[in-house]
C-alpha cells in the first residue's frame, strides 16, 4: 500500500470511506428505522391501507377517482380533484400539470384531425363548467367563455388601433363570447391558422365563480386525498339525492371527515374523499 | 382562524423554533468539529478507511481529499444505477440509461438532487436506500466539512493546516446527521409516512379498477433529504406526495428540518472564531434575507395575480388542499433559500412573480441560510467581498476577523462569486440558442424561458428544484446540467479551501480605530445590501425576460 502513488492511495481511501459510510447510512440506518416502523407504526408504515368487507380498497392517504368506466363522475360519490398522475390518481405515475399562470392560448386541433393542446385556462374553464353542470349550479368563472374555454382575444396588429380581433380559443363555428372589441367585430378562430403575431388579451368579464378553486385545479401530487370543505358542501346535495339521503346526514358526515388545521394554524381544512365515500357506502350497508 | 393569520403563525412558529435551536445545535456542532476525542465507532471507521485521524491537512491536501471522495462517489453511484437490474430489491426495474445515471449521480453527490427521473418508475429500493440516500448524508457532511475548514482558516494563525477531511466527514455524519435523522424519521413515521421494503400493494378501488399503492423506505430518506438540504424525493412529486408529507404538521416539520442546520451553523462559526457576535451578525443577514423572501413569496401566492390564478380564484394549481396556499409558499421559499430543492407544490404553476421569487432565492447564491455548510461558506465569502467594498470606500486595506483581505483573497472570493452566474447565463443561452433544446419547454412564451433559466439556476446553485414542465431527461440536458452541477459545486469548494489556506497562514492584525466592526447592525446591513446588489446586477436582465415579462403588464 505505502508504495502506491499518493493519488491512488487517496482514491482507495475515498472508496473505503464510501463503503463504510454506505454500510452505516445506507444499510444499518434505514433497516433500523424500518424495524422500528414495522414494530411501532405498523399500519401507517405500510401505507395506511383501508379495508372494507375484508377487501383492501385503498390508502387513507392516497386519493382515488370516483368515475365510471366511461370517465363520467359517479353521482353517488364525492368527486376528487382533477389529477395529472397518469390517467388520474395513478401512484405509479405521480405528477403535477406544471402548466404556468399565463398558459391561456389553446392550439386548436386541425380540421378532421385529433390533437391540439388545451391551455391551462381552458382546462380550468372546462372543469368549472362540467362541475357546475354536475352539481346544478353555475359553472361560470372570470376569464371563461360560457361554452367553457378561456376568454382570450388575439388583437391585430399587436400595437396600435385594432383592425382584426379573434376569440382564439373558440373554434368556428362557435359564437365568440364578445360581439366586438374596441369597435371591431370579434371572429371565431379557424383551426390551423397561426395567430401568434397578435396581441393576447384575456377578458375577465363579469362572471363570478361558484365552483371552488380546488375543484378546477390539479394538485401537486396528482394523488391529493382531500378536497376543500367548500367543494364538499357543493357536492353534498347531489350525493344526498343520488343516495336518497337527507342533506343533513350527508353534511354531518362531511363534518366528521373534515380535518382542521393542526394546532389551529398549520395548513388548510380538508375533507378526506375516500373515507367520506366509504362512510356513505357503509351507511347503506 | 383566517388563512392569512394561520400563514403568519406558520412562519412565525418556524422563526421561534429556529431561534430556540440555534444555540444548542450550533454549540453541539462547535464541539463536534473542535473536539480532540474520537468515539470508538469513529476509530473503527478510520482504521477501515486507512487514515490517521491526527494528521492535519494543508488546503491542497484537504481539497484533493474532497475531490477524490466526490469523484469516487459519482463513479460508484453511476455504476449502482447501471447495474440495478442485477441487484436485489430492484422491483424489476431496468438499468438506468447512461445519460440519466450520470446526471443523477452528479446530482446527488453535489447535494443538488435535481431529478430528471421519476422515482417510482426508475429507481428500485436498493438504489434509493443504499445509493441515493447515502449521498444525502455524505454530500451534506462534505458541505459542512468545507465550511468548517474555511472557519478554521479565519480562526487559526500562521499555519497551513485546515484539519482532516476524513475526520470532519465522519464526525458530521456520526455525531450530527445520523442522530438527528433517526429522531426525525420517528417523528415523520408518527405523522403517517411509509417505511417498508415492499414492492407495492394492489388494492381494488371502490369505484372499480385497481390502484397500486407503492411502498419503500420513505421516512428514513425523507428526513435526511430535508436535514441535509438535499431535496431528492423518493417519488416523482417529492414532498407533495402524501407518503412523503402526510399531514399539515409533517409539512411544518419538513420545513423546519431543512432550515435547522444551516441556521445553526453561524453559531458554530461564532464559537470557532472566538466571538459569538460575529456569528450573530452572519445569522442576522441570513434571517433578514430569509424572512423578507418568505413574506414576499407567500404574499405573492396569496394575492394570486395572473390570468389563470385570477380565473381560479386562488393559486391552487399544483398545490395540495391540506397544505393550502400560504404553507406551500413558505415551503417553496425555504427550499430555494436553502439548497434543498424539495417541493410540496409545483413552482412551474406558481404566479409569475412568486415563481420568479423562487429563482431570485437561488440566485442569491443560496446563502440565506443556504445549504448545510455551503450556505455558511457562501455567506462568509460575501462578507469578505463586503469588507473589500467598504475598504475601497475609505481607502484602507480591508480585514475580516483580523485577517487581511489582500489581492489573493479577493481574487478567490470573486472567482467564487462569478462561478454560478457564468454557468447559469451561459447554460441558458446555449439551450435557448438551439431549437432542439427549446422544444423541451412545456409552457409557451416568457414562461418557457423561465423553465430553462430555472433549470440552469437550480443546477449551478445546487438547488435541485425545477420548473418541472421542462422535459429535462434528454441526453443534452442530462449531460449539460450534470456539468453545471459539478462545476457549480466543486469550483467554489476549491476556491473556498484555497481562501481558507491563505487566511490560515496569516497572523492576525490587531483591530485599530480604522477597523470596520463586523458584528454591528451597520455591517449586517452592508452584507445584505452587497448580496442583493450583486444578484440584481447579475441576473436582472435574464429575470426581466422571464418572470418579470410574464408577471408585469
Rounded-to-integer distance, Cα A183 and Cα B403, Å: 72
For residue B317, give how far its alpha carbon lies from the nearest alpha carbon of chain A (Å): 5
Which pLDDT tens digit goes with each residue over A73-85? 999 999 999 999 9
Task: Give the max Cα distance, chain A.
Answer: 89
- What backbone torsions phi and psi does residue A169 show, to the nearest 5 degrees? -100, -5
How far is the CA of B360 from the CAs of A102, A192, B295, in angstroms? 20, 38, 14
Find, among B334, B325, B333, the residue nearest to B303 by Cα. Answer: B325
Residue A265 sits in the same domain as residue A174: no
Task: Provide mean pLDDT across the span B473-502.
Answer: 98
Question: With an 8 Å Cβ cutoff, is B248 touching chain A?
Answer: yes
> Which B residues in the span 458-517 are in contact with A, Cβ-Cβ below 8 Å?
467-469
How far is the CA of A12 from the CAs of A68, B48, B51, B56, B92, in angstroms? 60, 11, 11, 19, 32
Q: Are residues A113 and A245 in contact, defined by beta-carbon separation less than 8 angstroms?
A: no
Residue A200 sits in the same domain as residue A122: yes
Residue A60 sits in the same domain as residue A146: no
- Report the sign of the C-alpha dihedral through residues A262, A263, A269, A274, in that order: positive
Query: Predicted confidence band at A167 (pLDDT cuts at 50, 70, 90)?
Result: very high
Q: Are residues A265 and B5 in contact, defined by beta-carbon separation less than 8 angstroms?
A: yes
Task: Provide mean pLDDT across the span B234-255.
Answer: 97
pLDDT score for B53: 96
> Helices A247-256 and A229-243: crossing angle, nearest 10°?
140
- What backbone torsions phi and psi does residue A167 show, to the nearest 5 degrees? -80, 100
Task: Provide mean pLDDT across the span B45-68.
Answer: 97
Find, among B500, B502, B508, the residue nearest to B168 by Cα. Answer: B500
Looking up cell 423572501, which residue turns up?
B293
Query: Predicted confidence band at A129 (pLDDT cuts at 50, 70, 90)?
Result: very high
User: Domain ends where: A217, A243, A268?
Assistant: A217
Which of B1, B64, B73 is closest, CB to CB, to A265? B1
Question: With an 8 Å Cβ cutoff, is A40 touching chain B?
Answer: yes
Question: With an 8 Å Cβ cutoff, is A279 touching chain B?
Answer: no
Percent of chain B with pLDDT over 70: 100
Q: How many CB pairs under 8 A join A and B?
A: 393
Question: With an 8 Å Cβ cutoff, is A141 touching chain B?
Answer: yes
Residue A103 sits in the same domain as residue A72: no
Hey, how many other C-beta atoms are within 10 angstroms of the C-beta on B527? 29
Give rounded-to-5 percent helix, strand, coil for chain B: 65, 5, 30
pLDDT score for B34: 97
Q: Are residues B510 and B326 in contact, defined by beta-carbon separation less than 8 angstroms?
A: no
Which pLDDT tens digit goes with each residue over B116-153? 999 999 999 999 999 999 999 999 999 999 999 999 99
Indicate whether B394 pLDDT > 80.
yes
- What backbone torsions phi and psi does residue B454 show, to the nearest 5 degrees? -60, -45
Residue count of chain A: 285
Strands A258-259 and A270-272: antiparallel
The domain segmentation of chain B, as residue ranges, is 372-551
Q: b/e per residue, A71-82, with b = 16+ CB within 10 A?
A: eebbebbbbbbb
Task: Provide mean pLDDT across the span B350-370.
Answer: 96
Which of A30, A219, A268 is closest, CB to CB, to B129? A30
Indicate whether B513 pLDDT > 90.
no
Indicate whether B252 pLDDT > 90.
yes
Query: Predicted confidence band at B95 (pLDDT cuts at 50, 70, 90)?
Result: very high
Rounded-to-integer distance, Cα B294 and Cα A20, Å: 39
Task: Provide mean pLDDT across the span A94-115.
Answer: 90
User: Domain ends where: A185, A217, A249?
Assistant: A217
Find, among B153, B232, B187, the residue nearest to B404 by Cα. Answer: B153
Higher pLDDT, B41 or A109: B41
Q: Residue B350: its chain A contacts at CB < 8 A?
A: 101
pLDDT score for A19: 98
Q: Residue B241: its chain A contacts at CB < 8 A?
A: 94, 221, 223
pLDDT score for A2: 65
Q: Are residues B186 and A36 in contact, defined by beta-carbon separation less than 8 angstroms?
A: yes
Candidates A266, A269, A284: best to mutate against B (most CBs of B within 10 A) is A266
Average the pLDDT over each of A20-24, A80-84, B133-137, B395-399 and give the range with the smallest value: B395-399
Residue A193 sits in the same domain as residue A237: no
Rounded-to-integer distance, Cα A194 and Cα B327, Å: 41
Beta-carbon-side half-sphere exposure of residue B327 (alpha carbons within 13 Å)? 33
Residue A211 sits in the same domain as residue A132: yes
CA closest to A84 among chain B residues = B318
**DSSP state, residue B175:** I
Q: Residue A156's beta-bridge partner residues?
A: A164
pLDDT score for B240: 98
Residue A74 sits in the same domain as residue A178: no
Instruction: Decide if A82 is inside a domain.
Output: yes
User: H or E stretch including B5?
Assistant: helix B3-34
Q: Residue A154's beta-bridge partner residues?
A: A166, A200
For residue B4, give how far its alpha carbon lies from the nearest alpha carbon of chain A (Å): 10
Task: Provide mean pLDDT across the span A14-42.
Answer: 98
**DSSP state, residue B402:** T
Which of B170, B217, B320 is closest, CB to CB, to A224? B320
Which of B69, B249, B447 is closest, CB to CB, to A262? B249
* B170:A21 CB<8 A: yes
Cell reading at B226: 430535508
Instruction: Decide if A77 is inside a domain.
Output: yes
pLDDT score for A277: 97
Query: Predicted confidence band at A114 (pLDDT cuts at 50, 70, 90)?
Result: confident
Complex prediction ipTM: 0.96
Looking up cell 475515498, which residue turns up?
A14
Residue A27 sits in the same domain as residue A138: no
* B193:A92 CB<8 A: no
* B247:A262 CB<8 A: yes
Instruction: Decide if A1 is inside a domain.
Output: no
Q: Are residues A63 and A89 in contact, defined by beta-carbon separation less than 8 angstroms?
A: yes
Candidates A59, A81, A96, A143: best to mutate against B (most CBs of B within 10 A) is A96
Number of domains in chain A: 3
pLDDT score for A1: 55
How far is the CA of B437 from the CAs of A196, B428, B490, in angstroms? 21, 10, 26
Rounded-to-integer distance, Cα B157 and Cα B228, Å: 31
Query: Predicted confidence band at B511 (pLDDT cuts at 50, 70, 90)?
Result: confident
User: Domain ends where: A173, A199, A217?
Assistant: A217
pLDDT score for B233: 94
Please, which residues have CB within 8 angstroms of residue A199's CB and are 6 or more apart in sequence?
A: A154, A155, A156, A157, A158, A159
Cell reading at B220: 428514513
Q: Residue A217: its chain B contacts at CB < 8 A?
A: 312, 316-319
Rounded-to-integer distance, Cα B57 and Cα B26, Å: 24
Which pLDDT tens digit goes with each residue over A221-263? 999 999 999 999 999 999 999 999 999 999 999 999 999 999 9
Indicate whether B37 pLDDT > 80.
yes
- Helix, strand or coil for residue B210? strand
* B192:A44 CB<8 A: yes
For residue A241, give how far its alpha carbon lies from the nearest alpha carbon of chain B (Å): 18
Q: Residue B452: its chain A contacts at CB < 8 A?
A: none
**Structural domain that includes position A29:** 6-45
* A34:B196 CB<8 A: yes
Q: Residue B251: its chain A contacts at CB < 8 A?
A: 266-267
Indicate whether A285 pLDDT > 70.
no
> Which B residues in the span 309-338 are in contact with A, Cβ-Cβ below 8 Å?
309-325, 327-328
Residue A228 sits in the same domain as residue A175: no
Indicate whether A111 pLDDT > 80.
no
Amino acid at each position: 500500500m505505502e508504495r502506491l502513488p499518493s493519488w491512488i492511495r487517496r482514491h482507495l481511501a475515498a472508496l473505503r470511506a464510501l463503503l463504510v459510510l454506505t454500510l452505516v447510512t445506507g444499510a444499518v440506518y434505514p433497516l433500523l428505522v424500518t424495524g422500528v416502523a414495522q414494530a411501532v407504526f405498523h399500519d401507517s408504515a405500510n401505507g395506511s391501507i383501508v379495508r372494507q368487507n375484508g377487501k383492501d380498497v385503498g390508502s387513507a392517504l392516497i386519493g382515488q377517482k370516483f368515475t365510471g368506466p366511461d370517465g363520467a363522475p359517479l353521482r353517488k360519490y364525492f368527486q376528487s380533484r382533477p389529477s395529472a398522475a397518469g390517467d388520474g390518481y395513478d401512484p405509479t405515475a405521480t405528477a403535477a400539470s406544471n402548466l404556468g399562470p399565463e398558459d391561456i392560448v389553446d392550439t386548436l386541433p386541425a380540421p378532421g384531425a385529433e390533437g391540439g393542446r388545451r391551455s391551462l385556462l381552458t382546462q380550468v374553464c372546462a372543469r368549472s363548467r362540467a362541475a357546475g353542470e354536475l352539481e346544478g349550479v353555475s359553472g361560470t368563472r372570470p376569464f371563461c367563455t360560457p361554452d367553457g374555454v378561456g376568454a382570450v382575444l388575439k388583437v391585430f396588429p399587436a400595437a396600435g388601433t385594432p383592425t382584426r380581433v379573434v376569440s382564439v380559443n373558440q373554434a368556428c363555428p362557435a359564437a365568440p363570447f364578445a360581439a366586438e372589441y374596441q369597435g371591431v367585430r370579434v371572429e371565431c378562430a379557424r383551426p390551423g391558422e397561426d395567430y401568434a403575431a397578435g396581441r393576447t388579451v384575456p377578458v375577465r368579464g363579469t362572471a363570478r365563480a361558484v365552483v371552488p378553486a380546488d375543484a378546477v385545479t390539479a394538485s401537486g401530487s396528482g394523488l391529493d386525498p382531500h378536497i376543500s370543505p367548500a367543494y364538499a358542501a357543493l357536492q353534498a346535495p347531489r350525493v344526498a339525492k343520488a343516495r336518497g339521503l337527507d342533506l343533513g346526514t350527508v353534511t354531518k358526515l362531511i363534518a366528521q371527515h373534515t380535518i382542521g388545521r393542526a394546532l389551529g394554524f398549520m395548513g388548510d381544512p380538508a375533507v378526506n374523499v375516500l373515507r367520506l365515500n366509504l362512510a356513505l357506502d357503509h351507511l347503506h350497508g | 382562524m383566517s388563512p392569512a393569520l394561520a400563514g403568519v403563525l406558520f412562519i412565525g412558529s418556524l422563526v421561534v423554533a429556529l431561534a430556540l435551536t440555534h444555540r444548542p445545535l450550533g454549540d453541539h456542532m462547535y464541539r463536534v468539529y473542535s473536539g480532540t476525542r474520537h468515539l470508538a465507532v469513529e476509530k473503527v471507521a478510520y482504521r477501515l478507511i486507512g487514515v490517521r485521524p491526527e494528521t492535519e491537512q494543508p488546503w491542497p491536501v484537504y481539497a484533493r481529499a474532497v475531490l477524490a471522495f466526490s469523484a469516487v462517489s459519482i463513479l460508484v453511484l453511476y455504476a449502482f444505477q447501471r447495474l440495478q437490474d442485477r441487484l436485489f430489491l430492484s422491483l424489476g426495474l431496468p438499468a438506468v440509461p447512461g445519460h440519466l445515471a450520470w446526471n443523477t449521480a452528479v446530482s446527488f453527490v453535489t447535494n443538488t438532487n435535481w431529478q430528471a427521473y421519476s422515482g417510482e418508475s426508475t429507481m428500485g429500493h436498493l438504489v434509493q436506500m443504499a445509493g441515493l440516500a447515502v449521498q444525502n448524508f455524505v454530500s451534506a457532511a462534505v458541505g459542512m466539512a468545507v465550511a468548517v475548514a474555511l472557519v478554521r482558516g479565519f480562526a487559526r494563525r500562521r499555519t497551513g493546516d485546515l484539519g482532516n477531511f476524513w475526520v470532519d466527514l465522519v464526525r458530521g455524519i456520526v455525531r450530527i446527521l445520523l442522530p438527528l435523522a433517526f429522531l426525525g424519521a420517528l417523528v415523520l413515521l408518527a405523522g403517517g409516512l411509509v417505511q417498508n421494503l415492499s414492492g407495492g400493494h394492489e388494492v381494488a378501488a371502490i369505484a372499480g379498477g385497481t390502484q397500486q399503492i407503492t411502498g419503500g423506505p420513505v421516512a428514513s430518506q425523507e428526513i435526511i433529504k430535508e436535514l441535509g438540504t438535499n431535496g431528492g424525493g423518493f417519488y416523482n412529486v417529492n414532498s407533495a406526495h402524501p407518503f412523503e408529507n402526510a399531514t399539515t404538521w409533517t409539512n411544518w416539520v419538513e420545513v423546519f428540518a431543512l432550515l435547522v442546520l444551516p441556521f445553526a451553523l453561524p453559531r458554530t462559526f461564532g464559537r470557532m472564531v472566538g466571538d459569538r457576535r460575529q456569528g450573530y451578525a452572519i445569522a442576522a443577514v441570513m434571517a433578514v434575507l430569509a424572512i423578507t423572501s418568505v413574506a414576499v413569496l407567500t404574499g405573492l401566492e396569496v394575492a394570486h395575480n395572473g390570468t389563470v390564478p385570477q380565473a381560479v380564484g386562488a393559486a391552487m394549481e399544483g398545490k395540495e388542499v391540506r397544505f393550502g396556499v400560504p404553507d406551500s409558499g413558505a415551503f417553496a421559499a425555504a427550499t430555494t433559500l436553502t439548497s434543498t430543492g424539495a417541493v410540496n407544490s409545483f413552482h412551474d404553476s406558481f404566479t409569475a412573480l412568486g415563481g420568479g421569487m423562487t429563482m431570485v432565492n437561488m440566485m442569491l447564491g443560496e446563502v440565506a441560510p443556504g445549504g448545510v455548510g455551503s450556505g455558511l461558506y457562501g455567506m462568509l465569502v460575501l462578507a469578505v467581498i463586503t469588507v473589500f467594498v467598504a475598504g475601497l470606500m475609505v481607502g484602507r486595506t480591508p480585514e475580516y476577523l483580523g485577517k487581511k483581505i489582500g489581492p489573493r483573497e479577493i481574487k478567490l472570493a470573486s472567482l467564487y462569486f462569478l462561478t454560478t452566474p457564468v454557468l447559469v447565463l451561459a447554460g441558458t443561452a446555449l439551450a435557448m440558442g438551439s431549437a432542439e433544446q427549446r422544444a423541451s419547454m412545456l409552457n409557451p412564451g416568457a414562461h418557457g424561458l423561465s423553465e430553462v433559466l430555472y433549470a440552469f439556476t437550480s443546477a449551478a446553485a445546487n438547488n435541485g428544484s425545477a420548473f418541472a414542465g421542462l422535459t429535462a431527461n434528454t441526453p443534452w440536458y442530462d449531460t449539460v446540467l450534470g456539468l453545471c452541477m459539478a462545476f457549480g459545486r466543486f469550483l467554489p469548494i476549491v476556491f473556498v479551501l484555497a481562501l481558507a489556506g491563505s487566511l490560515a497562514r496569516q497572523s492576525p492584525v490587531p483591530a485599530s480605530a480604522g477597523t470596520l466592526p463586523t458584528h454591528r447592525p451597520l455591517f449586517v446591513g452592508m452584507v445584505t445590501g452587497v448580496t442583493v446588489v450583486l444578484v440584481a446586477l447579475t441576473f436582472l436582465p435574464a429575470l426581466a425576460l422571464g418572470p418579470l415579462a410574464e408577471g408585469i403588464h
